[in-house]
Amino acid sequence: MLSGILQTKGHRKLVCRAVYTMLEGRNMINKSTFTRIEESSEKKNASEKGRATIIFSLKNEVGGLVKALRLFQENHVNLVHIESRKSKRRNSEFEIFVDCDSNHEQLNEIIQLLRKHVNVVDVEPPDNSCLHEEDMNEVPWFPKKISDLDKCANRVLMYGSELDADHPGFKDNVYRKRRKYFADLAMAYKHGDPIPYIEFTEEEVQTWGVVYRELNKLYPTHACREYLKNLPLLSKYCEFREDNIPQLEDVSRFLRERTGFTIRPVAGYLSPRDFLAGLAFRVFHCTQYVRHSSEPLYTPEPDTCHELLGHVPLLAEPSFAQFSQEIGLASLGASDDSIQKLATCYFFTVEFGLCKQEGQLRAYGAGLLSSISELKHALSGKAKIMPFDPKVTSKQECIITTFQEAYFVSDSFEEAKVKMREFAKTIKRPFTVRYNPYTQSVDVLKDTVSINSVVEELRHELDIIGDALNRLNKQLGV
């Protein structure tokens, strides 16, 4: 439907503009007599009504369109969408498309009345264009606004304040107490709160310093150019230094200005569904604790070294941020099987992805960029490298205890994004979603009303682009 509506500006316009132009040009009516018709908020006889479409062309009669539109008002028929399109039947004519809420009796009556003023070309009777509520009841719950993340951000699956017996800090009571402190802070956090400032211990800063120093030796030859571009900015604005662990609140403010992403503290591992849901709202769930000092170059779980050195520099890159968000949006309301496929694609791109730059392999995955040994291995020439294809990648086994058996390479973030976008279309959902950055919520597109609303916004954006091009052409003398 979107592709059908978004055609050239000359062939399709909003009805208000088309009517205004036609009537004003022919001196048929004064500007003040045309009243914009809005959708009524009343839903009378909603159970009996459906969405009907009427297509008609104007007769050679002064004020014919205005008279026709008034018939809908007078007969209490809700107009949902109106537009004019250049006729495919006669190039010299425009046809008016009207979507309305109507039952069969109302529809027959309004058609008979319309025939007195217009030529009725086609009629599509009331349909079932809306998604039934029972269909939505079968969809897994998902957050619809950013504050809804409060409902799922604390469903930690692993670690948090508890540690497994094989964890380096399992027998260290001081470390376990420190971990509980970080977990309690994350559990108490609510959307809109400032992220608590942390006084890191000398031992924690030293551990961070070892990781920071050793990884920075590899970045010039192993990290992608986007990473290398953004890391100095983080040093400048967020105090990324060997002797200082950045504060998440500072990092969150920096990312918000760069790409709209924000940081939310988390106590430990989230389920793939809950983690990906955060990405849909450009929220990255981020741990604040530091790995155990006994093994500074190893961690069995994501810690703040992994998050800040692995993920954050690329979350500051617009194309990568968009790629991450689109994976998150595709996950909302998806089945468990689809979530697993999306999470696997995320794992082999955002965590362990490779790209080609200047004919060389470079890392962009956070799991690689925060692991000295695996970063070396992935680019050693000995690792198995495969082209990124979501259909293939989604079936690859994810390994968290040793090196991956295979790594996937893309020519660019844009290429990976296009492939993921096509893959997301194969996910079975009775709707799709669109992120609204103004309200930090998702619009669920499940019927013609919600889709038309998006189309109207797109038209406005295209008008802005069209105006910009016209001004540029004037400057260039085109």
Please list the active-site residues: 306, 311, 351, 370
Say how far apart CA 106 and CA 71 lie, in whole Å: 11
CA distances from 271 to 153, 171, 326, 368 (A): 10, 26, 18, 21
> Are the beta carbons of 197 and 247 closer than 8 angstroms?
yes
> Are the beta carbons of 325 and 384 closer than 8 angstroms?
no
Q: Which residues of 50-83 are buried (b: 16+ CB within 10 A; e: fewer)?
A: bbbbbbbbbeeeeebbbebbebbeeeebbbbbbb
Say how far apart CA 62 and CA 65 lie, in whole Å: 8
Structure tokens at 95: 């046809």
> Are the beta carbons of 445 and 431 closer than 8 angstroms?
yes
Say how far apart CA 366 and CA 323 lie, in whole Å: 14
> Are the beta carbons of 278 and 264 closer than 8 angstroms?
yes
Closest CA to 385 of 407, 400, 366: 407
Q: Which residues of 256-290 are buried (b: 16+ CB within 10 A; e: fewer)?
A: eebbbbbbbbbbbbbebbbbbbbbbbbbbbbbbbb
Say how far apart CA 323 and CA 364 lie, in whole Å: 12
Say how far apart CA 96 and CA 118 lie, in whole Å: 10
Structure tokens at 330: 């595709």
Task: Give 314's DSSP letter.
Answer: H
> Are the beta carbons of 86 and 11 closer than 8 angstroms?
yes
Task: Give 140's DSSP letter.
Answer: P
> Are the beta carbons of 289 and 350 closer than 8 angstroms?
no
Burial (CB < 10 A; 0-12, 13-18, 19+), residue 168, is middle
Closest CA to 265 of 291, 302, 233, 236: 302
Closest CA to 279 of 267, 261, 265: 261
